[in-house]
Amino acid sequence: MKNLEIAAIFYEMADILELQNVKWKPEAYRKAARQIETLSTPIEEVYEKGGIKALTEIPGVGEKLAKKIEEYIKTGKIKEHERLKGEIPKGLNELINLPGLGPKKALKLYKELSIDSIEKLEKAAREGKIAKIEGFGEKSEENILKTIELAKKKEERLLLGVALPIAEEIVNELKKAKGVRRIEIAGSLRRRKETVGDIDILAEIEGERSDIMDRFVSLHNVKEVIAKGPKKSMILIGEGEYQIQVDLRIIERESFGAALQYFTGNKDHNIELRKIAIQKGWKLNEYGIFDKQGRMVAGENEEEVYKKLGMEWMPPELRENQGEIKAAIENKLPNLVELSDIKGDLHMHTDWSDGINSIEEMINAAINMGYEYICISDHSKSQRIANGMDEERMLKQIEIIKEMKRKYKGKITVLQGCEVDIKPDGSLDFEDEILKKLDIVSVSVHSRFKSSKEEMTKRIARALENKYVKILNHPTGRLINEREPYEVDLEYLMQICRDRKIAMEINSSPSRLDLNDIYARKAKEMGVKLVIDTDSHSVDHLRYIQYGVWVARRGWCEKEDILNTQSIEKLKKSLNLKI
């Protein structure tokens, strides 16, 4: 899949063009790159199937950029890119990636002091050379040194599951400030994106002087105050890999809706809305919609802002500039699946393999979740490190769960499952003799992630041929920030799943979220049915189902697309279960 490679090249070209003070092109390159990054199809396939014309159907990609994409697919590089790289000192890119340093300052540093790397920058700053340059000063020099220190610590986006509790804690602290009427998490966190670059918080403040900004910058564990103003402040908070930037924006009641809209984003969604406002002869910013005379048209709540712009309000999960604005205008927004729609969880482990709780503890926890059914799905024998079950133990568990089914009858339906390994040759870890005794067979790849795309596709496709298979678990195998997805022809697998009525999993484990939002949407479009499962390894994990629901929502999924929103009777039909 060349999507990310091409996006990276376009980003780099944008940076170089910006250094050369070229107007508009940089944003055009970046906008195209952002769209290419979020494509659900390998861009080389888009090209093979539809040529240049298909490429230009990607928003932000026109004739010129399409030609460049074609060139990259055919030759592995883009001449224009190579040419641009040659025109600019190599290390300047890493300079503009430092927060606070942009193209103008970086270029100045290069021209005055021949600085083209972070090492040289640090040296010059220590020697006091920076402060002497026109346009820089003591403060700039200090800030550069600070920024370099902070950048040395590794910088990764935080998992939603990690950032959300941190954000909630901060919100609770800020609630204690004077004059706070309302406080909301915004940004990518409110859109429930799988990872977040920072935590964005919006507070509605009543009255003139609130102490919220003072409280904010002196929160426990604040490592750096990046900016502090009357309307917006930014801090770095937390330790090591959990260190994260927090942006706080405050606003008055009459503008709260517009501000929430602005601060929720995403950026491209905002820009599209602002263009619509312009078309209507208005101006949209974080204070509201205003007409030519500066009179406020809307602002107090989000619904009103969207309504005046000619569309329905939409859930934050959809606001990614992926067609939601058009859908909202045409009244075609999906009716997104909700947490309360979920009737059961079909993937969880117990102390029979690598879970920490007993079968019965999991059952009781599921009853507490209000579920109608669950499926116990411990590992099969190949998963030695996970204490996978061999045939003998599998048969034993079947006996135990039979008892449980009886014991909990009327309270919850307990299904007998197993997370069966797909072996490297595509065969399953158990013979049909065992599989046919299970209520639900789900299958997973847990080994040889580095196979070629062809091998992996063949391997999984073969597994899906087994007539007992009902669910394909975590179909891309990624671990966010840790392991890339394996190479596989997902579209092909989706066709098989659709035709054979096999469900694909949205694994809710916060570090998996697999399928992800983009593929969930593609699955829906292809008519593949999905299940949202937690893959719990303890009773505490069952609540992560919320994260999977968020992925589904970001993938435009409705209740009908998710099989475990169905009653057990309907589920049996949908998956053709023999129970």
Ligand X SMILES: Nc1nc2c(ncn2[C@H]2C[C@H](O)[C@@H](COP(=O)(O)OP(=O)(O)OP(=O)(O)O)O2)c(=O)[nH]1
Partner DNA sequence: GCCGTTTTCGGCCCGACTGTTTTCAGTCG
> Which residues in this chain contact Zn ion in the complex, by CB under 5 A?
419, 535
Do residues 320 and 269 lie in contact, with contact meaning Cβ atoms separated by under 8 Å? yes
- Integer-rounded Cα radius of gyration of the chain: 27
Other CB atoms closer than 10 Å to residue 563's CB: what's the count? 21
Q: Among residues 64, 132, 176, 267, which is the contact residue for ligand X, using CB under 6 A?
A: 267
| The two structure tokens encoding residue 183 | 């406080």
Do residues 215 and 173 lie in contact, with contact meaning Cβ atoms separated by under 8 Å? yes
Phi first, then psi: what are they for 438, rounded to 5°?
-95, 150
Rounded to a whole number of angstroms, the minimum distance from the CB of residue 236 to Mg ion is 12
Nearer to DNA, 135 or 527 (CB): 135
Cα–Cα dist 279/255, whole Å: 21
Q: Is 200 in the site for ligand X (CB under 6 A)?
A: yes
DSSP codes of every residue in 131-167: GGSTT--HHHHHHHHHHHHHHHS---PEEHHHHHHHH
Cα–Cα dist 189/202, whole Å: 12
Rounded to a whole number of angstroms, the minimum distance from the CB of residue 349 to Zn ion is 6
Cα–Cα dist 229/240, whole Å: 26
Binders of DNA in range 93-122 (CB under 7 A): 96, 98-106
Beta bridge partners, 416, equal: 376
Q: Which amino acid is at 131?
A: A
229 binds, among Zn ion, DNA, ligand X, none (CB under 5 to 8 A by kind): DNA
115 contact partners, CB below 8 Å, separation of at least 6: 95, 109, 121, 124
Q: Is 64 in the site for DNA (CB under 7 A)?
A: yes
Nearer to DNA, 278 or 395 (CB): 278
Nearer to Mg ion, 200 or 419 (CB): 200
Rounded to a whole number of angstroms, the minimum distance from the CB of residue 146 to DNA is 10
Residue span binding DNA (CB under 7 A) among the ranges 27-35, 330-338, 373-381, 440-448: 27-35
Strand blocks (E) in 350-500: 373-376, 413-421, 440-444, 469-472
Q: Is 102 in the site for ligand X (CB under 6 A)?
A: no
Rounded to a whole number of angstroms, the minimum distance from the CB of residue 234 to ligand X is 10
Q: Is 196 in the site for ligand X (CB under 6 A)?
A: yes
Q: Is 156 in the site for DNA (CB under 7 A)?
A: no
| The two structure tokens encoding residue 218 | 């002196």
Cα–Cα dist 70/93, whole Å: 25
- Closest CA relative to residue 378, chosen from 421, 437, 425: 421
535 binds, among ligand X, DNA, Zn ion, none (CB under 5 to 8 A by kind): Zn ion
Q: Are strands 469-472 and 503-507 parallel, antiparallel or unpaired?
A: parallel
419 binds, among ligand X, DNA, Zn ion, none (CB under 5 to 8 A by kind): Zn ion
Rounded to a whole number of angstroms, the minimum distance from the CB of residue 59 to ligand X is 17
| The two structure tokens encoding residue 471 | 């669910």
Rounded to a whole number of angstroms, the minimum distance from the CB of residue 232 to ligand X is 11
Rounded to a whole number of angstroms, the minimum distance from the CB of residue 164 to ligand X is 12
Rounded to a whole number of angstroms, the minimum distance from the CB of residue 194 to ligand X is 10
Q: Is 265 in the site for ligand X (CB under 6 A)?
A: yes
Q: Is 205 in the site for DNA (CB under 7 A)?
A: no
105 binds, among DNA, Mg ion, Zn ion, none (CB under 5 to 8 A by kind): DNA
Q: Is 198 in the site for ligand X (CB under 6 A)?
A: yes
| The two structure tokens encoding residue 578 | 């023999």
Do residues 101 and 92 lie in contact, with contact meaning Cβ atoms separated by under 8 Å? no
Q: Is 61 in the site for DNA (CB under 7 A)?
A: yes
- Kindly write out the interface string for residues 269-288 of this chain, putting x where it contacts DNA by CB under 7 A and - elsewhere: -xx--xx-xxx---xxxxx-
Q: Given CA atoms 256, 257, 258, 260 in this order, what sign does their dihedral have?
A: positive
Residues near ligand X, by CB under 6 A:
187-188, 193, 196-198, 200, 262-267, 270-271
Residues near DNA, by CB under 7 A:
23-25, 27-29, 32, 56, 59-66, 96, 98-106, 131, 134-141, 143, 187, 198, 200, 227-234, 245, 247, 267, 270-271, 274-275, 277-279, 283-287
